[in-house]
């Protein structure tokens, strides 16, 4: 797990830019505090900050590799982990031996050489063979082509900026901001991305809030030649239900799910450093921790919570840790700590993410880094196995599907006449809409009317359907629940869940691994029929059945909670109200936001006139982001990453 940065020039002036690339690496030093290095030729520069996890004494980057007849043909820089690297190395060694006999193929014991060797022998299709999380760049010194790739689910980030001066790419956007002048680009704001953010609570891929910087999308690779724009190809197109389980007993199906997950956890435990596990009170993280205990009986688990009743799973997590026999560490976050950490966290995020759960995640990562260098976590289970409560909505809205179009539209008009807050209004409104219009992921923030009241430049033609329509097109004909899962893989998962998981753990130089998001686990999950995912009584039905005997009984059928934040209460009380007023007052976003309307929303929330907490949080996080990256008014103190590990 590391931070990469690169620059492909349009000419042969790369050596002139090496020093600026090296300097830009400093702002992403938290991703790899163990060592820093650069490599360049006349057209390309690679920079790298390393967090040493596997083959610690070797596997330095940027890495040079080539076959026996051209041993330095390729240069590689790579962020992530390839969990099947041992199996790949064996297979590749056989291919190399068939061509060159017994000449040595690898100089290290790590996974980096496996990537570039796989690319040499299998070309771009090599990415389909990699089980892991990755963003990497390979420079072919012979063909003068740059190959960039990202893992199937988007666990690891990769930002791109292309201008007259060339193409820059990196693990974090802030490092590319320092290179924009070399590319001939400026730092202009992307107003459409801002509108998408206010609705979705995150900036959807491939957008960023800087118009000149995009993201290579999850499950994609790109080829770049000097002086040309990247040519992108999607190699991973997830499908559900195309390959249903073979006929057989349900017990066999559950056994296959459990076996796939156990194999994934086993491979995710591969490391030359200590691996711990995050542990909330839910089934997902508990399953991962329980399976990890089979490989490390001394496993340490970590959880976080708040002192307010109903907003902490500390007790449940402690009970789970005791049940599986893990050593358990708890971090309780106070409102004062919460508020004080926001600017620093937003700086690490690169783009705003209005999910308050990332704050407790940041603190539990900071605590975990005192003890371990790697943690496992349960992200991805809800999207793969049908875990969100909202996935049950098609069951409640099924009667609307039987109505003629005219009656369905009439239900929508009736809902418009019902006062806000009246029971049944939302049901009528959502039932009147087709799935493509009513569901745009787990984030539900501003309505058009609310956006008009706060955005200075509201453009009604910029809607969530800009993001969701192409995704829905790929799932036409599937059942509604499966379409919602598929949509979340490309929206909520990679826009919110994985961004916060990567950014706040790497902020603490901690590697986070997510065993549910493994291609072999997905292969099993995609075969689960609808009735085995969502029932009237529960979510993730098949997964819960598969985890009988693995997850303690007090968790197995417990409702999902995660790391909840008492934001609604804090913004009404002394904890965050004054802090929020200060952010609004000092923000220099008047040209973008109607600050008087935002202040009125805050006061209405405090008076109990509706729950505006998530909308307020969305705007507050943006104001802080703007204060850091645009106004240069807020200057978080980013400490040097020093981590004495406590055993």
Residue 378 annotated as binding? yes
Active site residue 27: no
- The two tokens of residue 389 are 């409560």
Q: For residues 626 and 308, give the distance between their C-alpha atoms in angstroms, rounded to a whole number.
A: 31
Write down the catalytic residue from 2, 199, 213, 326: 2
Burial group, residue 123, by CB count within 10 angstroms (0-12, 13-18, 19+): exposed
Q: In Å, how far are 80, 372, 619, 640 from 364, measured between CA atoms?
A: 21, 12, 25, 19
Q: For residues 348 and 505, give the distance between their C-alpha atoms in angstroms, rounded to a whole number.
A: 10
Residue 163 annotated as binding? no
Comparing CA positions, the residue from 348, 340, 353 lying closest to residue 629 is 348
Residue 426 annotated as binding? no
Comparing CA positions, the residue from 528, 535, 436 lying closest to residue 239 is 528
Task: Find the length of the chain.
Answer: 647
Q: For residues 495 and 501, give the distance between their C-alpha atoms in angstroms, rounded to a whole number.
A: 11
User: What phi, psi does 530 have (nearest 5°)?
Assistant: -55, -45
Q: Which residues pair with 501 in a beta bridge?
A: none
SS3 463: coil
Give 43-69 as a DSSP string: SEEEEEEE---SSTTS--SSEEE--TT
- Exposed e or buried b per residue across 592-629, where buried means at least 16 C-beta atoms within 10 angstroms of its C-beta: bbbbeebeebbeebeeeeeebbbbbbbbbbbbbbbbbb
Q: In Å, how far are 139, 476, 586 from 386, measured between CA atoms?
A: 40, 19, 42
Burial group, residue 28, by CB count within 10 angstroms (0-12, 13-18, 19+): buried
Q: For residues 308 and 327, give the distance between their C-alpha atoms in angstroms, rounded to a whole number.
A: 25
Q: For residues 301 and 298, give the distance between their C-alpha atoms in angstroms, rounded to a whole number.
A: 10
Contact assessment for residue 74 and residue 119, using Cβ atoms and an 8 Å cutoff? yes
Burial group, residue 241, by CB count within 10 angstroms (0-12, 13-18, 19+): middle
Rg of the chain over Cα atoms, rounded to whole angstroms, equals 25
For the chain, what percentages of helix, strand and coil (3-state, to nearest 5) are there?
Answer: 45, 15, 40
Which one-letter DSSP state was computed for residue 298? T
Binding residues: 111, 377-378
Binding residues for L-glutamine: 111
| Residues with active-site annotation | 2
Binding residues for ATP: 377-378
């Amino acid at each position: 797990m590391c931070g990469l940065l690169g620059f492909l020039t349009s000419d042969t002036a790369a050596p002139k830019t090496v020093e600026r690339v090296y300097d830009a690496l400093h702002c992403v030093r938290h991703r790899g505090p163990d060592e820093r290095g650069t490599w360049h030729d006349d057209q390309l520069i690679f920079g790298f900050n390393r967090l040493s996890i596997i083959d610690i004494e070797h596997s330095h980057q940027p890495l040079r590799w080539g076959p026996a007849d051209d041993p330095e043909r390729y240069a590689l820089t790579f962020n992530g982990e390839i969990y099947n690297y041992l199996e790949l190395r064996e297979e590749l060694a056989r291919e190399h031996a068939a061509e060159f006999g017994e000449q040595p193929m690898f100089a290290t014991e790590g996974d980096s050489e496996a990537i570039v060797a796989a690319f040499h022998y299998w070309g771009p299709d090599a990415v389909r063979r990699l089980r892991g999380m990755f963003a990497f760049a390979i420079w072919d010194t012979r063909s003068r082509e740059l190959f960039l790739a990202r893992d199937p689910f988007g666990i690891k980030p990769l930002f791109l900026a292309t201008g007259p001066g060339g193409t820059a790419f990196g693990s974090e956007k802030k490092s590319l901001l320092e290179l924009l002048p070399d590319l001939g680009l400026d730092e202009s704001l992307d107003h459409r991305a801002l509108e998408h953010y206010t609705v979705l609570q995150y900036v959807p891929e491939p957008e960023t809030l800087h118009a000149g910087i995009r993201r290579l999308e999850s499950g994609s690779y790109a080829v770049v030649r000097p002086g040309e724009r990247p040519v992108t190809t999607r190699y991973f197109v997830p499908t559900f239900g195309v390959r249903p389980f073979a006929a057989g007993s349900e017990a066999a199906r559950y056994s296959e799910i459990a076996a796939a997950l156990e194999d994934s956890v086993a491979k995710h435990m591969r490391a030359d450093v200590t691996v711990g596990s995050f542990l909330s009170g839910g089934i997902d993280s508990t399953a991962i921790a329980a399976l990890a205990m089979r490989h490390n009986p001394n496993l340490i688990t970590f959880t976080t919570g708040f002192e307010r009743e109903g907003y902490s799973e500390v007790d449940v997590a402690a009970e789970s840790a005791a049940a599986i026999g893990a050593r358990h560490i708890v971090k309780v976050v106070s409102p004062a700590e919460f508020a004080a950490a926001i600017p620093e966290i937003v700086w690490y995020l690169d783009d705003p993410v209005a999910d308050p759960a990332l704050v407790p995640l940041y603190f539990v990562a900071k605590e975990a880094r005192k003890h371990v260098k790697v943690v496992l976590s349960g992200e991805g289970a809800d999207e793969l196995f049908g875990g969100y409560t909202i996935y049950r909505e098609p069951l409640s809205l099924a009667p609307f599907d039987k109505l003629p179009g005219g009656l369905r539209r009439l239900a929508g008009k009736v809902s418009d006449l019902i006062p806000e807050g009246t029971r049944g209004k939302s049901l009528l409104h959502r039932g009147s809409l087709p799935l493509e219009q009513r569901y745009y992921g787990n984030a539900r923030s501003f309505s058009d009317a609310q956006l008009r009241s706060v955005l200075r430049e509201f453009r009604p033609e910029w809607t969530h359907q800009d993001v969701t329509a192409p995704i829905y097109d790929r799932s036409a004909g599937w059942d509604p629940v499966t379409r919602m899962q598929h949509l979340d893989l490309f929206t909520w998962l990679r826009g919110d869940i994985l961004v916060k998981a990567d950014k706040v753990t790497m902020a603490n130089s901690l590697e986070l691994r997510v065993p549910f998001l493994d291609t072999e686990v997905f292969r099993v999950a995609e075969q689960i029929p609808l009735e085995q995912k969502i029932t009237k009584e529960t979510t993730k039905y098949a997964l819960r059945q598969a985890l009988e005997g693995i997850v303690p009984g007090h968790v197995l059928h417990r409702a999902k909670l995660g790391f909840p934040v008492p934001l609604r209460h804090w913004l009404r009380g002394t904890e965050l109200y004054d802090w929020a007023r200060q952010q609004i007052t000092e923000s220099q976003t008047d040209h973008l936001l109607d600050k008087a309307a935002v202040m009125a929303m805050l006061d209405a929330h405090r008076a109990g006139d509706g729950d505006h907490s998530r909308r307020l949080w969305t705007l507050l996080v943006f104001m802080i982001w703007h204060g850091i990256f645009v106004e240069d008014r807020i200057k978080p103190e980013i400490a040097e990453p020093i981590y004495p590990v406590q055993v």
